[in-house]
Amino acid sequence: MPLYQPPIRDQRFVIHELLGAVDALRAMPRYAELDAATVDQILEEGGRFSEEVLLPLNRKGDEQGCAYDPSTRAVRTPDGFAAAFAQFRDAGWQGLTADAEYGGQGLPQLLQIAFDETRCAANQSWAMYSGLTMGAYECILRNGDAAQKELYLPKLASARWTGTMCLTEPHCGTDLGLLRTRAVPDPEGGFRITGEKIFISCGEHDLAENIVHLVLARLPDAPAGTHGISLFIVPKFLPAGAGAEAGCGARNGVACGGLEHKMGIHGNATCQMQLEDAKGWLLGEANKGLAAMFVMMNGARLYVGVQGLGLTEFAYQNAAAYAKDRLQGRSLSGPKAPDRPADPIVVHPDVRRMLLTARAYAEGGRALAYWVALMADAQHHHPDAAERRFGADMTALMTPIVKAFLTDNGFYCASECMQVFGGHGYIREWGVEQTLRDARINMIYEGTNTIQALDLLGRKVLLDGGARLRAFGGLVRQFVEEHGASVAMNEFVTPLADIAGKVEKLLLELGLKTVGNKDEMGAAAVDTLRVVGHLVFAYFWARMAERALARIRSDGEQVDPFYPAKLAMARFYFQRLLPETAFHIRAARSGAGNLMDFASDWF
């Protein structure tokens, strides 16, 4: 059976030592009473739930999958999923960050992200059922009227009801301007909605009393394109009564028409949803549904990035354990275990390269994702307007990077860790082939990684003249100035400053090229996101190296081995992974001609 131990030691390092998160959060009135002991308790209990409850269900969920009954249009989740969800619900985990007035605990997004990482590492398919629910909660919180909030938020926060988002249709994926689902006014109030949605995660299941679908549809007089999209609340069962005490009434006209047969995440119900004169209620303003839905979509993109992070850590842990145990051949520099018939494969340089690549991307991704969660907390709750703006800018800038860079890394590292296992990795017994299959979807859903790259380059950088990226660059410059004179930090500060300068130059060139030809942006976007992702990782790895060096100096011979290991990981990242940027910078600069000059009929 695959193993997984929540990386609590590294989580604590990132939260307490790297980010100083408790002090940062206590500056926000909402979190004024937060303390380190509470943070550590959440990490430990969340990690225990992930390891002891979710991990044992992961392989079973993959092999058994979900079952669809066409006669009832119901979906049964894999054995054990419903019991685990009941345990999750009864412990109050769903409302970890929800507002106290709606039954939540009001804790920071930072703790939600940390818990999400361990849940997704242990069992991504299961974790998705609750992950989308908090997205629906946030969307209704930001866009709903008082009655909608009073009715739906307590039930979503308690996990009595779960949530989905229904965007994609058979004829349109990313281009939502083409959607055809229609909403017509109901004389009795609300709207009647008819259409078909596909690829709807958690669209039908047996885990909760009700499912709240957030559905994009068009009103009869809506303008064409994305400007004519509205957002509606469409519950599986119509609410019986009003307010927080409302229960489930009659079945609504929304149902699952079948399950998608997928490459991975078999334990999650990915549904074809049919809306047949379903009762719905407008959420937010008419014809402004896409903007309202982006509250949920952006949260989902961060969540998917954390899925990539979790699977990277999971793949690393299992491959490292195997490499230390598996005997195969002898070290090139002479036997390292002469008393045994062969050396463990961890002695071989390329096995170490694969393992350390996964570990570097996991630890760098953890630092980035947790910092972005801290920025999201500041965006919504910091008392200083400038801090709220900075938090909003950093969250917006980093969302496509978290989503794409971390999920690209996750799939690549799952593949590398499968390679560590050799032939054993290709069979189910060790679990790494499931990790590879599960990881692949993360690069596709919630906006493909190419869409994220276009969002980063086009909307988050070029559209605002690079203001947000310059704001992040200010953090980089400040760090370089503070530590540039340190001999011990030179091996980290010098390449950090170098990649920052190269990114600035690259983006200036691309800004000029795209003025006359937008294909230049499309041709360069994916490579550019990769380069900017490495700039961000280099910044956090340099900061982690500085913290490790400080502890090594202060603790001397009594230093926790964690810190020399962290310093060695920083060196590996800067020497082995950051140089990848040279290729991507050159590719980004090569232009659109080598792509677009290839005639269509040559394909």
| 334 Ramachandran zone, left/alpha/beta (phi>0; psi -120 to 50) | left
Residue whose C-alpha is closest to residue 163's, from 296, 255, 262? 296
Name the 3-class secondary structure at 80.
coil
The span from the CA of 323 to the CA of 593, in Å, is 45
Whole-angstrom distance, CA of residue 519 vs CA of residue 596: 8
CB pairs under 8 A, 24+ apart, for 506-512? 506/531, 506/585, 506/588, 506/589, 507/461, 507/462, 507/466, 507/469, 509/589, 510/457, 510/462, 510/588, 511/462, 511/466
Q: Among all chains, which residue has been given the structure tokens 């937060």?
A: 34
Distance, in Å, from the CA atom of 437 to the CA atom of 107, rounded to the nearest integer, reads 33
Backbone angles phi, psi at 215, to 5 degrees: -115, 130
Q: From residue 551, give the alpha-carbon distance in Å to each of 20, 558, 571.
A: 15, 10, 16
CA distance 150 to 144: 9
DSSP string, 514-566: HHH-THHHHHHHHHHHHHHHHHHHHHHHHHHHHHHHHHHHHHGGG--THHHHH
Distance, in Å, from the CA atom of 590 to the CA atom of 565, rounded to the nearest integer, reads 38
Give the CA count within 13 Å in the CB-facing half-sphere of 382: 18
Six-digit token pair at 567?
């310093």
* Residues designated catalytic: 446
Contact 358, 573 (CB under 8 A): no
Residue with tokens 């499309």: 522
- Who contacts 551 (Cβ-Cβ below 8 Å, separation ≥6)? 559, 560, 563
529, 456 contact by CB (below 8 A): yes
Total residue count of the chain as it appears in this document: 603
Say how many Å lie between the first and final Cα of the chain, rounded: 45
User: What is the rounded CA–CA span in Å between residue 57 and residue 62?
Assistant: 9
Other residues' Cβ atoms within 10 Å of the Cβ of residue 470: 14
CA torsion 324→327→330→333, rounded to 10°?
10
E strand residue ranges, 3-160: 67-69, 74-76
Cα gap 205→67, rounded to integer Å: 9
Residue pair 373/391 in contact by the 8 Å Cβ criterion? no
Classify 74 as helix, strand or coil. Answer: strand
Rounded CA gap, 252 and 115, in Å?
Answer: 33
383: how many CB neighbours lie within 10 A of its CB? 11
Token pair 């195969």 is found at 328
